[in-house]
Structure 1
């Protein structure tokens, strides 16, 4: 994919860009 690192979104947690790094979806428990 050619990805080189992470990207800083808004830096405050308001835009939702960082939720990809902080969230994990458990397919067995169907919970985040």
Structure 2
């Protein structure tokens, strides 16, 4: 049970990090958004 919670937490962190990376890359592609 604890392992499942850890996996979910890990997945959430990865998704958050990925969305942040997407935002950063899109800003690099379109600096006019700044």
Q: With the length of structure 1 as denominator, give the TM-score of the two structures.
A: 0.24
Q: With the length of structure 2 as denominator, give the TM-score of the two structures.
A: 0.24
User: Which one scores higher on RCO, CA 8 angstroms, separation ≥ 6?
Assistant: 1
Larger radius of gyration: 2
Looking at secondary structure, tell me which structure has more helix per residue.
2
